[in-house]
Structure 1
């Protein structure tokens, strides 16, 4: 029987633990906090907020993995398209439709090479050639809902195009576990315990355990760098202001607002899940990326301007509010000339494997955590890494 140690009890760590235990391994998970979930935790109390806007996309292999194990659970229904009141902030006003030229950049992939975004060119340059500067800028800012970066147009065109298309797909890929992401984490934790996984919370690990078999480090990349004392474990991420506001209900409030004039996104999560706030109140969560020379206060001011437009009288209706900064905690972003294969590899040698959202694995947002965890366990058990048709991880 294999013994596998997992450091970190977030989505990546629980995925690794479940997968290894299903294969017959004896698994121990060490989590530094008193609860599992990592960045997928949901706050307790009357306002059940995630750490920033969260959505679970259903277009990747992680969805199949969760569904096969009955882990997805009840989903909050997305409001009908006609009544969803999705608004786009463009040229200072709220609109119902994007700039017409922007639609050209949202088309499904075609065989024509001209529409395949290149890896080695920034998105703004490529998209301007395809649809003009105004549409390119609007599309880049819209993509921030799945990137959390202050300047998506400066990133690899291929990286941004994939996220743009998936974020704008109809019907939407974004799904919402009812009760917040903690409900998904709870189901994953229960599955792990039922498989005999040993879970130790409040157990901070300062060095790689020896003599306990392979080790999967499923932490943030910063934490992994310190733990493994490996300065090469770095990759670009985003820095964004998180704004959570609860307001008394009012007819006519928008469901979601995307800022096309600058990166930023607001979403009324109680539009699909009334369990997230007390009766008669609405919970709005937003993220507004912060530039390198910008303060959080400036980003919050942008959020408030958007709230003024989309949620009339919100200041007088506020019942609760919270602000935070997510610095380097929003997943990997790929500059021009790089892909996910260039990020820190899963296999670190000497029986140590990485998993997380900044590791060399494909996918959007949390999908990278799932996919890297599956690859890490496969390699730790001495199996082949899943092939391109499974997870596209041949080079992990």
Structure 2
């Protein structure tokens, strides 16, 4: 692990509200910059949406994969916080399937592959993805590409979003070799390592500590505050109606099924946004012997009922996992509404989202604020930046920026 220089500033006290990925990143960054840090988490455990359920079925509530091209991969690796990670075994990668025109296929349309190779910089910010992509590869290829990219969007109509925004995600999802790596044992493992590292730096962690507007005001009088909660929670806490941004609305289906030889690894729906992954393919220890864990995500519109997403999930399961109903040993469903990261409409980028700096010593972090990155990467990026700005705001002697931060202007 690379040594991180730290000189404690006992006169600087940074408060971090929220113990998810953004909050832990902010707390570590502020502590490494020399500040005294207290982290407040309303639940009894840390992790936020990066929690993993206790065994025997270890399912992730939020993130599944780390992307090697992202900023948090290098950040975690520098601090020896990655732990064991695995990629998709080559034989499993051969079991990637696509639903096209109602049938299961082994390969996607060639037009999708051609489009995925194009640099995101060729896609305009102010045009919708559907129109731009159709001009590049035709209507059918554009529709398939938009639906494939939904795996990193959780949005019911990816084609209506900014072409640049969608193309960035399509390009990274389709990279070869794949960027995705999976923490062995689920996301709870890196969360536990981050929490241990934070405590080792002197961060005081208070769980089951709910902060309300009055308490926030009291904290802000003693030092800068990083609010690292969901955007909705931040809107209430800060009483700031401007803290809004569009996110996805997605039905999540988790299944444990008895193992069957020949099951698909992934089934990507190219007829509509949707995706099912057998994520014990890369980490069999997440389920008891002889069983596999599947998770599907099926975006639905703002007025659609959850049953619509469930029905689409079952259609995809029928194609890729024959006999899944008789083999199911556990099933849970959830509706994730506004909990899947920001999406950008044409004419907007991450720079237009709610700003990190809120004034009066308040700073914002999370996956829907003005920071770049794929999915949870925005939480890391904003957590680092919010902490550095908080320490800097506390006084001219605070913090060493070199080596800690993310230059948002370069992204």
Q: TM-score, normalised by structure 1?
A: 0.95
1:107 and 1:390, CA in 2 relative to 1: closer, same or farther beyond 3 A?
A: farther
**Which of 195, 206, 225 in structure 1 is aligned with 2:201?**
195
Could you tell me how far 1:392 is from its partner in structure 2?
Answer: 4.1
Q: Name the CA distance, whole Å, in 2 between partners of 1:213 and 1:82.
A: 51
Match of 1:120 among 123, 126, 130: 126
Residue of 53, 56, 59 corresponding to 1:43? 53
Cα distance in 1 for partners of 2:207, 2:261 equals: 44
Counterpart in the other structure of 1:11: 21
Q: Does 1:65 pair with 2:72?
A: no
Aligned with 2:298: secondary structure?
A: strand
Deviation for aligned residue 1:81:
5.5
Q: In the comparison of the two structures, how many residue pairs are matched?
A: 391
CA RMSD between the two structures: 1.9
1:52 Cα offset (Å): 4.9
> 2 CA distance for matches of 1:141 and 1:4?
42
- Structure 1 contact 61–390 (Cα < 8 Å) conserved: no
* Compared CA separation, residues 286 and 166, structure 1 to 2 (3 A): same
The match for 1:182 among 169, 179, 188 is 188
User: Are residues 1:252 and 2:258 paired?
Assistant: no
Shift, 1:230, TM fit: 0.5
Aligned equivalent of 1:273? 283
Out of 245, 260, 267, the residue aligned to residue 235 of structure 1 is 245
Query: Which residue in the other structure is 1:323 paired with?
Result: 333
Q: Does the CA contact (< 8 Å) of 2:244 and 2:354 recur in 1?
A: yes
Structure 1 contact 343–360 (Cα < 8 Å) conserved: yes
- Between the aligned partners of 1:295 and 1:386, the Cα distance in structure 2 is 47
Is 1:359 the counterpart of 2:372? The answer is no
* Higher mean C-alpha displacement, 285-294 vs 360-369: 285-294
Q: 1:177 to 1:189 in 2, by over 3 A?
A: same
Unaligned runs of 5+ in 2: 1-8, 393-397
Q: CA deviation at 1:293?
A: 2.7
What is aligned with 1:391? 406
1:74-93 matches, cutoff 5 A: 74-80=84-90, 84-93=94-103
Instruction: Tell me if the contact between 2:263 and 2:320 (Cα under 8 Å) persists in the aligned partners.
Output: yes
Q: Structure 1 pair 52/199, CA: closer, same or farther in 2 (3 Å)?
A: closer
Query: In 2, Cα distance between the equivalents of 1:73 and 1:259?
Result: 32
Distance in 1 separating the partners of 2:134 and 2:55: 46
Moved over 4 A (4+): 383-387
CA distance in 2, matches of 1:95, 1:361: 37
In the alignment, which residue of structure 2 is the partner of 1:307?
Answer: 317
Residue pair 1:3, 1:214 contacting (<8 A) in 2 also? yes
- Give the structure 1 partner of residue 6 of structure 2: none
Match of 1:214 in 2: 224
Query: Does 1:149 find its partner at 2:155?
Result: yes
Judging changes above 3 Å, is the alpha-carbon distance between structure 1 residues 18 and 338 closer, same or farther for their aligned structure 2 residues?
A: same
2:388 equivalent in structure 1: 378
Give 1:45 deviation, angstroms. Answer: 2.4
Q: Aligned equivalents of 2:55 and 2:291: distance in 1?
A: 14
Per-residue deviation, 1:283 = 0.3
Return the alpha-carbon distance in structure 2 between the equivalents of residues 278 and 215 of structure 1.
43
Distance 1:386 1:94 in 2: 51
Q: 1:127 to 1:386 in 2, by over 3 A?
A: farther
**Shift in alpha-carbon separation, 1:81–1:119, aligned structure 2, 3 A:** farther
CA contact (8 A) 1:53 1:287 kept: no
Verify: 1:261 aligned to 2:271, yes or no. yes
- TM-score, normalised to structure 2, is 0.92
Change (3 A) 1:379 1:102: same
Q: Which position in structure 2 is the counterpart of 1:337?
A: 347
Residues 187, 390 of structure 1: CA spacing in aligned structure 2 closer, same or farther, 3 A cutoff?
closer
Displacement of 1:212 in angstroms is 2.2
1:394 CA displacement: 3.5
